[in-house]
Amino acid sequence: MGYRVRRRHELLRRRHRREKIKKLKKKLAAAAKAEREKLIAKIHRISPFEPVPEK
């Protein structure tokens, strides 16, 4: 019984992270140089192995 609840939380956390990464990448596409560095750092903090587009 506990497995299902824990798994559900894991899935929700993963989906939320994916949506957040998508939103940050959209901001990254329109960002200036200084803001771009901050956004890249934030993406790496949220998901370290997420590839970041060069531009």
Q: Does residue 2 have a pLDDT over 70?
A: no
What is the predicted pLDDT for the residue at 49? 92
pLDDT (0 to 100) of residue 4: 87
> Which tens digits make up the pLDDT trace of 31-43?
999 999 999 999 9
> What is the pTM for the complete model shown?
0.79
Residue boundaries of the structural domains of the chain: 2-46
Write down the mean pLDDT value for the chain. Answer: 91
Q: What is the rounded distance in angstroms from the CA atom of residue 22 to the CA atom of residue 34?
A: 20
Q: Which 8-state DSSP code applies to residue 51?
A: -
pLDDT value, residue 52:
87
Span 5-34, mean pLDDT? 95
Within 10 A of 43 (CB to CB), how many other CB atoms are there?
19
